[in-house]
Amino acid sequence: KEMVVTHIGLERGAVIEFKYRLHTKAGFRNHFAGLEYRNALFPIHKYSFKVIVPKDKTLYFSFGSQGKIKLDRTIQKGFHVYSHNAVGIPHFSPEPLSRAGQSYIAFSDTKDWQGTYPSNYNTRNLPNWIKDKKDQILSSTKGTLECIFKLQELVANDMDYCRLSTALTGNSVRKASTVIDSNYATALEKSYLLSAILSDAGMKNEIILASDKPITYTEIASDRFITHIYIKLPNVRNDVMYLDPVQSQDGIYPASMKGKHLYNLSRNRVEKLKKNDDCSNHLVINGKLTLTGVTYDGTIRLALGGSEFNYKSSLKNHKTYLKRALSSRIPVTKISNLKLIRYDSRG
């Protein structure tokens, strides 16, 4: 929820004192954490930060682009009190829809990312009808990549989506059957559901957390940092593929992954995107054609490469795509007797 406060009749030099209290329902988050921004779109004359926790509770901190901030720590009546005060904080001028470079103080009582999130769905808990739909996709698709796209669409397109960030929806998930029956899911629930469906289809996969901030994942664990979640398929015919559980895609990398800082929740380590020659799109054509009169007859193999290739479009319109690709090499007016033999991530 958002709170909007409007002041009228203000004069230059006026000082506004504004206090509010937030009550969080127990169980909404399985750890104690916060993310407080120190600057805003307007200058701040005086800033005060204070967090009070029981004496036996340890807090871990992470700071924004301003670097490490000095925190005062005292003990008062059996409680640890962490505080920070600043004056004359200049305004923040961000790019549209971006908080990059903004000054913040983040805190959490844990560094354990796997302990912060619940365990994956057990594939045995998937309803039978969703398993039947998965089996239909497996039997009707012509290759690995087409099958993966269809399974992704089952969760990303065919189910409604709660568009609040993971920081606002909490880190708990409902049962898989409840999520499917309601036809409505958070980003976290969609990622767990897609992971379970892929696992039930025999496809090994991993949960990837993503943050817009250059977070040091070893310093602090908090879902307040996480802005999106992806699914990684580490072995799609000896290649790597990432899926967006809330939006279908055309290539092997979702466009929204650009600039994100990633953490592999399944392996409990920082995730680095694979850097290789496939980062640039390319098309390799080879085969054997026999010229008979004015017609060609033979077999052509196309290998598509690159992280942003429109694989899905070329798959659905493979005849048109082949004609366009060949026209730059040999004269083509008509293609007949075309059959898609196999389509997967290796071409």
CB of 310 within 8 A of CB of 317? no
| CA–CA distance, 337 with 295 (Å, rounded to integer) | 12
Contact, 16 vs 42, CB < 8 A?
no
Whether residue 103 has pLDDT greater than 70: yes
Alpha-carbon gap, residue 138 to 150, rounded angstroms: 9
The two three-digit tokens of residue 104, written as one number: 């913040």
- The span from the CA of 169 to the CA of 39, in Å, is 25
Q: Give me the mean pLDDT over the 164-173 stretch.
A: 80
Region label for 70, one of left (φ > 0), alpha (ψ between -120 and 50) or beta (otherwise): beta
Is residue 290 very low, low, confident or very high in pLDDT (cuts 50, 70, 90)? confident
Mean per-residue pLDDT, 322-335: 69
Please, which pLDDT band fits residue 278 given cuts at 50, 70 and 90? Answer: very low
Average pLDDT of the residues in 149-161: 92
pTM value surpassing 0.85: no
Helix (H, G, I), strand (E, B) or coil at 256: helix
pLDDT given for residue 145 in this prediction: 84
- In this structure, what token pair is assigned to residue 224? 């307040």
Percent of the chain whose predicted confidence (pLDDT) is above 70 = 82
Say how many residues make up the chain. 347
Q: Please state, in angstroms and rounded to a whole number, the distance separating the CA atoms of residues 122 and 299.
A: 44
Nearest-10 crossing angle of helices 128-140, 187-200: 60
Map residue 287 onto helix, strand or coil. strand
Question: Any idea which residue has 């921004």 for tokens?
Answer: 37
pLDDT score at 277 = 40
Tell me the three-class secondary structure of 56-103, residue by residue.
CCCCEEEECCCCCCCCEEEEECCEEEEEEEEEEECCCCCCCCCCCCCC
Ramachandran class of 88: left when φ > 0, alpha when ψ lies in -120 to 50, beta otherwise: left
pLDDT tier for residue 342 given thresholds of 50, 70 and 90:
low
CA 180 to chain centre: 20
Q: What is the pLDDT of residues 15-66, one digit of tens each?
A: 777 777 877 777 778 888 888 888 888 888 888 999 999 988 889 998 876 6
Structure tokens at 228: 């999106």
Segment 60-82 mean pLDDT? 85
Report whether 220 contacts 277 (CB < 8 A): no
Residue 243: its pLDDT value, please? 95
User: What would the two tokens of residue 66 be?
Assistant: 């301003």
Structure tokens at 70: 């000095």
Q: Which residue stretches of 170-289 are H helix?
A: 176-182, 187-200
